[in-house]
């Protein structure tokens, strides 16, 4: 009796696992270079053999956890057509779907910084209402740093403390900054012992006429780099 009961329980577990839809997106994060085309894959398995009808929907939402989903498009089977939501650029999104083979890939054309969002794939198959019918992934749009702006903060007089600032207004992921300098004779030199170079801000303490020269800041990330320079003249 116990053996029969155990067999029955195991069969129930197997049936419950099979009779359920499961939607998967292979990775949690996808990256795309600004201006390129990219695809977010979505795969699914259903317990319904040769489904007669189904609906695939893609949504997006801001990275803010409290943001609400916004519909992008909806694909219908067996019609094999999709509609793009009214407030979405119809030329920017399409879908590569094959409902019988569990494929529902979202295609995004000419990605922009505004596409840094969470994208959700949702699949509904008639006759398969249990399981996990949606999954999501984050799209990170990569942008090379824009030409940084170099500025001097403070009075460049002998004995004063000043800061040299460097900022790229655009960069994804955020840019990293590094300052380098040449002396008045255009020879490379090591950073001054008391100086600090942090987040694009080069702090110089107790400057002297020897601090004068050309200072170059390089802004870089995994996509590219850019630089700016300024000439510092310390007055007595």
- Successive 10-residue mean pLDDT values, the chain, 236 residues: 41 46 97 97 94 96 88 97 94 96 97 95 93 96 97 96 97 95 92 92 96 97 96 93
b/e burial code for range 73-96 (CB count within 10 A of at least 16 → b): bbbebeeeebebbeeeeeebbbbe
Question: Would you tell me how many other CB atoms lie within 10 Å of the CB of residue 203?
Answer: 17
For residues 97 and 63, the answer to whether their CB atoms sit within 8 Å is no
Query: Thinking of the domain 149-232, which architecture would CATH place it in?
Result: Sandwich (2.60)
pLDDT at 236: 85
Reported residue count of the chain is 236
Which are the contacts of 201, defined by CB distance < 8 A and separation ≥ 6?
Answer: 163, 164, 165, 166
- Tell whether the torsion through CA atoms of 33, 37, 41 and 42 is positive or negative: positive
DSSP annotation of 236 reads -
Among residues 75, 73, 69, 74, the alpha carbon closest in space to that of 118 is found at 69
CA distance 123 to 21: 8
CATH 2.60.40.10 domain position(s) in the chain: 22-142, 149-232
Question: Whose structure tokens read 């207004």?
Answer: 169
pLDDT at 6: 42
Q: 22-142 maps to which CATH number?
A: 2.60.40.10
């Amino acid at each position: 009796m116990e053996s029969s009961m155990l067999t029955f329980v195991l069969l129930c577990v197997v049936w419950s696992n099979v009779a359920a839809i499961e939607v998967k997106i292979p990775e949690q994060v996808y990256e795309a270079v600004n201006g390129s085309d990219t695809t977010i894959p979505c795969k699914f398995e259903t317990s319904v053999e040769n489904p007669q009808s189904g609906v695939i929907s893609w949504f997006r939402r801001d990275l803010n956890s409290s943001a609400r989903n916004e519909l992008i498009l909806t694909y219908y089977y067996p019609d094999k057509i999709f509609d793009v939501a009214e407030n979405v650029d119809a030329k920017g999104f399409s879908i590569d779907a094959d409902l019988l083979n569990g494929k529902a890939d979202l295609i995004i054309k000419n990605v922009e910084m505004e596409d840094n969002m969470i994208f959700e794939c949702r699949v509904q198959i008639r006759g398969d209402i249990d399981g996990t019918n949606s999954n999501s992934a984050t799209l990170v749009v990569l942008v090379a740093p824009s030409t940084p702006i170099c500025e001097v903060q403070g009075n460049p007089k002998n004995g004063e403390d000043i800061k040299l600032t460097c900022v790229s207004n655009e960069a994804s992921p955020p840019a990293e900054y590094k300052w380098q300098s040449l002396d008045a004779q255009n020879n490379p030199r090591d950073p001054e012992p008391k100086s600090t170079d942090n987040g694009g801000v080069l702090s110089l303490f107790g400057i002297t006429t020897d601090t004068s020269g050309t200072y170059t800041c390089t802004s870089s990330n995994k996509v590219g780099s850019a630089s700016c320079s300024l000439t510092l003249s310390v007055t007595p």
